[in-house]
Structure 1
Amino acid sequence: MNHTSAPSAHPSPDPGAGFVAIDFGTSNSAVALPAGARGVKLVELEPGQPTMPTAVFYRADTPPQQLEAERLYGRAAVAAYVEGVDGRLMRSMKSILGSSLIDQSTDIGGGRQVRYREVVTGYLRRLKALAEAEAGQPLQRVVLGRPVFFVDDDPVRDAQAAQALATAAREVGFTEVHFQFEPIAAALDHESHIDHEQLVLVADIGGGTSDFSLVRVGPERARRGRERAERRDDILASHGVHLAGTDFDRHVELASILPLLGYRALRPARPGEAPRELPSGVYFDLATWHLINTVYAPARVAELRGMKSWYAEAAQHRRLMTTVNERLGHALAAAAEQAKIDVALHGAAQIDLGLLEHGLAAQLQEDRAAAAIEADLARIVQAAAETARMAGVAPEAVDVVYFTGGSTGLRPLVDRIAAGFPAAMRVRGDRFSSVAQGLGLHARAVFGG
């Protein structure tokens, strides 16, 4: 069963509403405006895209006479980093909110510094400006999504994180700020389609974390929810692990692509010695998005070049050096991510590696992809079961498992989670924007739009 809260047509935002909902995500963000009589519309944050990576790139080559460093946002920010533009990429800003870093400064190149708090406000200001451009009017009221816990097992820091986000929202011009828990937001669309109370396990499997919340939803709770802004008492338990899509991508790349560059290959045997495996550090770095650029350092390149005699197959070393010299690490990572998606959609993937060598390709079957991420799958499935245990709820009592987040396109993952709740119906929300859509519905209830 699939449904989302996006309207079936393409209505224009309500010109009299003056409010917005923002899903300020760890990996990606989305924004919703009211549309039509009761619906919501996602803002186009980038051409043809209703979501935007939560990323800011500060260019180090900004002219000194310019007061502030030039900033790029979203996909443009990531592209500048991948292309090696001199500057500083900032991601996962949400994790800063509950830490002491929020009031500290960091070097962004070109002799400039920026406070982490300003990174957050700058990104929110960008989202607000894009929403106002589409709405055609100032937007002064906002509903912001928030995790059940910004900081685990530390109520003081958790409250500080919420306050820091609220302060940032006010600094960019919002005069009325409300929060809604992300798992409640994700479940609001499902709630609008049912006529009785249900116990729902929200499985939000994103890029960096797999989060689970057991929530109660239903028409009566929706009505009372208009009077209880955040509906905290509808959340019976929340739990998660720091494993998700980027971890899957790394395992897929190590299993299907990097063996062609020498990963897990054996060095030529020496007399009287068993063959030894090639050093694996460079391959782990190439498979870890934020470490790829470290492989391009001149000293590292020289070291890898000097290892040519260690390779029993000259072609493997040649492909490795092509990757390093032509800075193709992020392209290989993207190929691994696409392979994961293709396997989820079609059960198999043909990975074109012609950028390394004419005619070179790798194949990935669903069973091999599942085996590559088996350890992570097991921990994620365990986290889902632990959420029910924490709530004191038998798995058989769960009515619905609601899947959202970009990594829920991977069928073996969805099947494994659902198998732990045998009586539950599977419901798929929009993988990338169901939280924003739910926040938009909640904003309509809060602000009366």
Structure 2
Amino acid sequence: MKTKACCGLDFGTSNSTLGLVEDGRPRLVKLEGEEVTLPSTLFFDFEENSTHFGRDAITTYMEGGEGRMMRALKSILGSPTIHETTMIGRERKPFTAVLGLFLSHMKRTAEAEIGASVSRVVMGRPVHFVDYNPDADREAEETLRAIASDAGFSDIEFEFEPVAAARDYQQTVNSEETALIIDIGGGTSDFTILKVSPKNETTGADSRDAILANTGVHVGGTDFDRWLSLARVMPLLGYQSPMIKKGRLMPVGFYHDLATWQKINFLYDHKTQADLRYLRREATKPHLLDRLLHLLELREGHRLALGVETSKVALSELDQTALSLDFIEKGLSAEMTRQHLVEALEDGTERVRKTIAEGLQTAGLEGDDITVVFLTGGSTKVPYIRKSLTDMVPKARIVDGDAFGSVGVGLALEAQRRFG
């Protein structure tokens, strides 16, 4: 069996995959045990002076390991934070180096499985790292290129994630279709409208006329988690609670940071806790601030975020659920219903619908002109989101791709095409 020394790498906000082509067929590499997906999570274990990745990182954190958990780091690409440093134990590391650790781990794992060096890569990227800012968008791609280079890749190219998903879908096409590819990942929602057919190399560099529109918006699964958290959990910790001075409410910044994966660690500094103790004296419901302070003293912000994410997933199947917050206060829980989830996601979902509508307009098409919708990305499994988007193309056949694997497979096929 011959293995090409090239790969497709889908570095995701929530989950990552690495694909390659063997004997003409694409497959995803097992990145953690028997799993081909690797949660985009690191845990720096201060007791053992070691770094854990993926599910192992989450498990070690949840078991009470002393250290620092980091997740959703892709989201800081395109922001000033990516060029800053952060304290990990007693050492200050650049955020770029932290991302590099994750990419290096994926590369080494793949090389160990296939017994060969993988130096050439096509990396997935959202249509927009940064909305409405082409310069910042280009800078984000170049930053990711530099990180991949430092991780050991010598030849680095990029492909839009929904275009890669289209290449995966094209493997199953038997007749010409006008397709809408919907890829809702952890950090972005991306869309490609294109003509696909069994004989048309849809995503080839010399056949870009097949792509009718390519668009995206910086809304994804971690945003849906944040909005649900702000709506149903943060009020239990003092969010939007009144202060003694009439007309004033608790500052919202603490809660937005606590509900945002990549910002949670910033709340564990002494200044934040000192500010909250001062605000507690000015609050009409100080017991709510006591809960927040206790949570930060325990450094359990990521446990809370994981619980919200789990509740969102549960509400895709259940009419209601309860998130236990016993680790903050005995008997405390956040009650959530599917309707609560819908209300939390309405505004964000409307932004996604607006972006699809712009794509249809760019393509010169109406919703009825789309003959097939190909869905990938974890948030396409949320019933409300799924129905809201597919209702825009009422005559289309709905095809479910591999929610976490389609982009990686498509990138592997693209890597084979480009590098051979």
The reply to whether TM is greater than 0.5 is yes
Counterpart selection for 1:242 from 196, 206, 218: 218
Structure 1 pair 40/289, CA: closer, same or farther in 2 (3 Å)? same
Distance 2:319 2:156 in 1: 44
User: Is the 8 Å Cα contact of residues 192 and 211 (structure 2) preserved in structure 1?
Assistant: yes
2:303 corresponds to 1:316: no
Map of 1:198 onto structure 2? 177
2:165 corresponds to 1:186: yes
- Report the alpha carbon displacement of residue 73 of structure 1 after superposing the two structures with TM: 5.1
2:113 corresponds to 1:126: no
Map of 1:11 onto structure 2? none
Which runs of no fewer than 5 residues in structure 1 stay unpaired?
Answer: 1-13, 64-69
- Report the alpha carbon displacement of residue 77 of structure 1 after superposing the two structures with TM: 7.1
What is the identity, as a one-letter code, of the residue corresponding to 1:328?
Answer: E
Counterpart selection for 1:145 from 115, 118, 124: 124
Map of 1:66 onto structure 2? none
Which of 1 and 2 has greater Rg? 1
What is the identity, as a one-letter code, of the residue corresponding to 1:139?
Answer: V
Distance 2:37 2:283 in 1: 43
Map of 1:43 onto structure 2? 29
Give the aligned length: 417
2:361 corresponds to 1:389: yes
Write out per-residue CA displacement over residues 111-158 of structure 1, whole angstroms, 9 at most, x where no aligned residue.
767694x66665544322211101122334444334456677788887
Distance 1:359 1:90 in 2: 30
SS in 2 for 1:345: coil
What is the identity, as a one-letter code, of the residue corresponding to 1:252?
Answer: L
User: Is the 8 Å Cα contact of residues 9 and 123 (structure 2) preserved in structure 1?
Assistant: yes
Counterpart selection for 2:327 from 344, 351, 355: 355
Distance 1:299 1:176 in 2: 44
SS in 2 for 1:92: helix
Q: How does 1:337-376 map to 2 (within 5 A)?
A: 337-376=309-348
Map of 2:8 onto structure 1? 21
What is the identity, as a one-letter code, of the residue corresponding to 2:192?
Answer: S
Q: How does 1:219-238 map to 2 (within 5 A)?
A: 219-222=198-201, 228-229=204-205, 231-238=207-214
Distance 1:428 1:421 in 2: 15
SS in 1 for 2:215: strand
TM-score normalised by the chain length of structure 1: 0.77
Distance 1:321 1:120 in 2: 30
SS in 2 for 1:41: strand
Structure 1 pair 208/253, CA: closer, same or farther in 2 (3 Å)? same
Distance 1:53 1:386 in 2: 32
2:242 corresponds to 1:260: no
Write out per-residue CA displacement over residues 27-54 of structure 1, whole angstroms, 9 at most, x where no aligned residue.
543101335x553332222345423355
SS in 1 for 2:213: strand
Q: How does 1:87-126 map to 2 (within 5 A)?
A: 91-92=73-74, 95=77, 116=96, 123-126=102-105
Write out per-residue CA displacement over residues 65-86 of structure 1, whole angstroms, 9 at most, x where no aligned residue.
xxxxx86655677878x97847
- Report the alpha carbon displacement of residue 249 of structure 1 after superposing the two structures with TM: 1.2
Distance 1:170 1:297 in 2: 33
What is the identity, as a one-letter code, of the residue corresponding to 2:336?
Answer: L
Map of 2:20 onto structure 1? 33
SS in 2 for 1:373: helix
Distance 1:442 1:330 in 2: 36
What is the identity, as a one-letter code, of the residue corresponding to 1:240?
Answer: G
User: Is the 8 Å Cα contact of residues 88 and 108 (structure 1) preserved in structure 2?
Assistant: no
Report the more deviating stretch, 172-181 or 23-32. 172-181
TM-score normalised by the chain length of structure 2: 0.81
Structure 1 pair 32/260, CA: closer, same or farther in 2 (3 Å)? same
2:389 corresponds to 1:403: no
Which runs of no fewer than 5 residues in structure 2 stay unpaired?
Answer: none
User: Is the 8 Å Cα contact of residues 56 and 90 (structure 1) preserved in structure 2?
Assistant: no
- Report the alpha carbon displacement of residue 401 of structure 1 after superposing the two structures with TM: 1.9
- Report the alpha carbon displacement of residue 373 of structure 1 after superposing the two structures with TM: 2.1
Map of 1:7 onto structure 2? none
Structure 1 pair 306/169, CA: closer, same or farther in 2 (3 Å)? closer
SS in 2 for 1:426: strand
Distance 1:377 1:358 in 2: 35
Distance 1:152 1:89 in 2: 22
Write out per-residue CA displacement over residues 325-362 of structure 1, whole angstroms, 9 at most, x where no aligned residue.
22222222221111111112323322111112222222
SS in 1 for 2:228: helix
User: Is the 8 Å Cα contact of residues 319 and 357 (structure 1) preserved in structure 2?
Assistant: yes
User: Is the 8 Å Cα contact of residues 22 and 145 (structure 1) preserved in structure 2?
Assistant: yes
User: Is the 8 Å Cα contact of residues 198 and 399 (structure 1) preserved in structure 2?
Assistant: yes
SS in 1 for 2:317: helix
2:194 corresponds to 1:215: yes
User: Is the 8 Å Cα contact of residues 26 and 94 (structure 1) preserved in structure 2?
Assistant: no
Distance 2:291 2:327 in 1: 10
What is the identity, as a one-letter code, of the residue corresponding to 2:220?
Answer: A
Distance 1:207 1:420 in 2: 22
User: Is the 8 Å Cα contact of residues 20 and 413 (structure 2) preserved in structure 1?
Assistant: no
Distance 1:234 1:266 in 2: 56
Identity within the alignment, %: 35
